[in-house]
Chains A and B, each alone.
Chain A
Amino acid sequence: AQSVTQLDSHVSVSEGTPVLLRCNYSSSYSPSLFWYVQHPNKGLQLLLKYTSAATLVKGINGFEAEFKKSETSFHLTKPSAHMSDAAEYFCVSYQAGTALIFGKGTTLSVSS
């Protein structure tokens, strides 16, 4: 069975510093992987996706993630945090024949 583990429930950074949100997946096969963002009282928005093409995936708002099969990881990074990045981030796994499986989420706080 597939599963997703987000290693940090809360990450705090200062504006202008790098962001790292960690995600490990467990799957019998190579899954499709996504990162979604949820701002307060807003819907879930797709940040980026990995679907077995390039292992380094670029998304919106300067975010990117690298698929590492040997480490079963799909960590989300951004070189320089902005105040507007403060939100809840979800790592999501998708394997053919099943539904999307969400991690528990990581709350990103950005201080000035």
Chain B
Amino acid sequence: DTGVSQDPRHKITKRGQNVTFRCDPISEHNRLYWYRQTLGQGPEFLTYFQNEAQLEKSRLLSDRFSAERPKGSFSTLEIQRTEQGDSAMYLCASSLQINTEAFFGQGTRLTVV
């Protein structure tokens, strides 16, 4: 078990471009979370999945953001028409079941220029 894996680790993109991030959770973890963290702030919740079902989305998740977990294993987070304000660290976490600790990946650092 190698923990939660995120790819890529870093992404630089031009404003207006689309980007997609991937998260591979710990195997058999049925909960998967996406968070966004900006410099000097705590992680902000974006969305989470229970198996393949997306159960909750934050109001922070504008229409330009979409997340999927098609087979209940890995997940992707896509940002369309990126803006400079999207620059942040995007964190993925997984947990075995409700009420248990979540394990975080190293994150994908997005820079929009």
> Which A positions have Cβ atoms within 8 angstroms of B?
32, 34, 36, 42-46, 49, 51, 90, 94, 96-105
Contact = CB atoms under 8 A, between A and B. Distances in A.
Contact of A104 (B41, B48, B100): B41
A43 B104 contact: yes
Nearest to B102: A100
Contacts of B93: 44, 100
B101 interface: yes
Interface size band for B: 20 to 34
A101 B33 CA distance: 11
A35 to B, nearest CB: 10
Contacts of A103: 42
Given A96-B98, A97-B98, A99-B48, A104 B42 contact: yes
A43 B105 contact: yes
Given A43-B105, A43-B106, A43-B107, A90 B42 contact: yes
B79 interface: no
B106 A100 contact: no
A49 B48 contact: no
Given A103-B42, A105-B42, A44 B101 contact: no
Given A90-B42, A94-B99, A105-B41, A99 B106 contact: no
